[in-house]
Amino acid sequence: MSEPPREIVIEATHDLRFLDWRELFAYRDLLRLLVWRDFATRYKQTILGPLWHIFQPLLTTVIFTIVFSQVAELPTDGLPPTLFYLSGLLAWSYFSQTFNSTSSTLVANAGLFGKVYFPRLIVPLAGVVSNFVSFLIQLLSFFTILLIYRAAHPGASVGPRWSAIVFLPLILLQLAAFSLGIGLWLAALTTKFRDFSVLSGFLLQLWMYVTPVILPLAKVPPAWHLYVALNPVTMPVECFRYFLLGTGWVNVSLLFVSIATTAVALISGLLVFQRVEKTFVDVV
């Protein structure tokens, strides 16, 4: 005699609880599909496709080199301007792209969320993964340009610190965690106040200028170092330059401050997101 079909009841919970890792793991196939969807929709009807991941930072680097290095004559910590700006943009681009995709999660996918149940956190996690693939493409282009520079300047000492570059994935993980946490905060706020969807773009523009993408942290007065480190993107950018180019101002104490700020942003963002996801369909 066959067993009667089991009945699954989905109910909204009213308590704040942390991640259900088993549920997220059960929907890993959906995560892969959403990552593929991000790539397919992003490059649909484009000629260059994923090559835009290479051209965009390269064009930005050229503009930064002309404006900030040649015209404004800002220091680049003794590094070639092109490599200086490109290494900073590697870290910044991953943060900004993940922040943008996460902050629009609830509003952009409201129709999908209203039709079928799955862990809502799967969607922003798919953005984290798809942007990581974009980062790998940009990292490959960075090393290509570095090799070209080394070939043109045989005596140059600019290059990766191989003894420290093994920590690069940990720094990238911090960037992913912070962009996810702050993006979830903005996603939750956007469901009730659409002004935040406009504010996010403006916020990123200002944010880049208080991050050492254009000016090295070593040129910031020491009295401001603690305040600069409270920006969790600051130390990852400096660490990227130190790992990839061998020059950078990395302070362990300030790095721990940055990690602590990231942890607060991620945990609070997850809790707020889980609270809002239960009722946001009725509001959007």
Q: Which residues neighbour 170 within 8 Å (Cβ) at sequence distance 6 or greater?
A: none
Q: Identify the CA nearest to 267 among candidates 277, 257, 259, 279.
A: 259
- Give me the number of domains the chain comprises: 1
Whole-number CA gyration radius for the chain: 21
The per-residue pLDDT for range 97-145, each reduced to its tens digit, is 999 889 888 777 777 777 777 888 898 999 899 999 889 989 999 999 9
The per-residue pLDDT for range 69-90, each reduced to its tens digit, is 888 888 888 889 999 999 999 9
What is d(CA 156, CA 77) in angstroms, rounded to the nearest whole number? 15
Report the mean per-residue pLDDT for the chain: 83
Q: Which of 16-30, 38-52, 80-94, 121-135 has the lowest mean pLDDT?
A: 38-52
Q: Identify the CA nearest to 251 among candidates 272, 224, 271.
A: 224
The per-residue pLDDT for range 181-232, each reduced to its tens digit, is 999 999 888 887 777 777 788 888 889 988 989 988 878 888 887 777 778 8
Q: Identify the CA nearest to 142 among candidates 61, 83, 210.
A: 83
* Domain contains 146: yes
* Domain contains 73: yes
* Domain contains 274: yes
* Domain contains 186: yes
* Domain contains 8: no
pLDDT at position 220: 81
pLDDT at position 44: 67
Q: Which residues neighbour 199 within 8 Å (Cβ) at sequence distance 6 or greater?
A: none
* Domain contains 13: no
* Domain contains 272: yes
pLDDT at position 2: 54
With bands split at pLDDT 50, 70 and 90, how would you rate the model's confidence at 48?
low
What percent of the chain is modeled with pLDDT above 70?
88
Residue 53: exposure state from Cβ atoms within 10 A (0-12, 13-18, ≥19): buried
Domain that holds residue 151: 21-282
What is d(CA 87, CA 263) in angstroms, rounded to the nearest whole number? 25
Whether residue 83 contacts residue 166, with contact meaning beta carbons closer than 8 Å, is answered with no
pTM: 0.86
* Domain contains 42: yes
Q: Which residues neighbour 242 within 8 Å (Cβ) at sequence distance 6 or greater?
A: 161, 164, 248, 249, 250
75/282: higher pLDDT:
75
Give 83-115 as a DSSP string.
Answer: HHHHHHHHHHHHHHHHHHHHHTHHHHTHHHHTT
